[in-house]
Amino acid sequence: MKNPDKFEQQTSGAYRLVLIIIALVVIILLGGIYLYNDPDLSYFKNSGQDSELVEAAGDMDEYNKVENGLHVRTGLIDAPGLMATVNNCTTCHSAKLVIQNRMSKERWISTIRWMQKTQNLWDLGDNEEVIVNYLVTNYPPKKKGRREVLTNIEWYELKK
C-alpha cells in the first residue's frame, strides 16, 4: 500500500490494455469473417468511383423496379411507405403473406405486436406508423358477407 495511486494507475492501465486487445481481436475476427465470405470486398465496391456509383444506382433502380403500380420484386402496391414495408416485412416472410391479408389498423398493429413477441421482429421505431399506414391504406378489409357470389368463372364447353 506504499503507492496506492500508482497501483491503481497500473491496474487501470492494464485493464485498458486488455480492453484494447479484445477490441482489436474482435475487429480482426470480424474482418477475417467478412473477408472469408467476400474476398473481393464486393459489398463495399459500389461506393468506390463515381462511375461505379452511377452503375450501382442503376442496379438499385432495377432491383426495386415498379411496373403498373406494383413493386415488381415483391408484388406490393407502390404507395407511400412501400420501401419501409419491403425492408422490414419481407426479410423473414414473403410479401405474398402481406398481400393476401386484409386488416384494420388495429389488427395490423396487433399482428406486428405478435411478430415482435413471438417471431423475433425488431422494434420498428418511426417506421411503424409509416408501415401501418401503408398497410391499412393499401390492404384494408373488404366486406364479404356470409357468403360471396362466385366470381372469375372460366367458362368452357363440356363435351358429352
Partner 1 sequence: MKRRFFVKKAALSAMAGIIGADIVFGATMPEGYQPLALQDSDPFKLFHKDTEMVVLNDKPWNMEAQAHLLDDKVTPNEYIFIRNNGLIPEKVDEKNWTLTIDGESVKQQKKYTLAELKSKFKQHTYQLTLECGGNGRSEFDPPAKGNQWTIGAVYCANWTGVRLRDVLEDAGIKSDAVYIGYHAADMHLSRDPNKEPISRGAPMAKALQDETILAFQMNGNDIPLAHGFPLRLVAGGWPASVSGKWLQRISIRNKIHDGEKMNGTAYRVPCHPVAAGEEVPESEMCIIESMPVKSLITYPKSGAIIAKGQKLKIRGHAWAGELEVSKMEFSIDFGSTWKECAVEKPVNRLAWQHFSAEVGFPTIGYYEIWARATDSKGVSQPMLLPGWNPKGYLNNACHRIAVKVS
Which residue of 66, 78, 102, 133 would you call a contact of partner 1, by CB under 8 A?
102
Residue 87 near partner 1 by CB under 8 A: yes
* Least distance CB 126 / partner 1 (angstroms): 12
- In angstroms, the CA 92 to CA 95 distance is 10
* Least distance CB 21 / partner 1 (angstroms): 17
In the shown chain, the binding pattern of residues 27 to 66 toward partner 1, with x for contact by CB under 8 A and - for none, equals: ---x--xx--xx----x--x---------x--xx--xx--
Residue 77 near partner 1 by CB under 8 A: no
C-beta closer to partner 1: residue 109 or 133: 109
Which residue of 4, 50, 126, 143 would you call a contact of partner 1, by CB under 8 A?
143
The radius of gyration of the chain from alpha carbons, rounded to an integer in Å, stands at 27
Closest CA to 85 of 127, 141, 137: 127
Residue 137 near partner 1 by CB under 8 A: no
- In angstroms, the CA 74 to CA 148 distance is 28
Cell 477490441 belongs to: 23
> Cβ distance 126 to 80 under 8 Å?
no
Count of CB atoms situated within 10 Å of the CB of 73 = 14
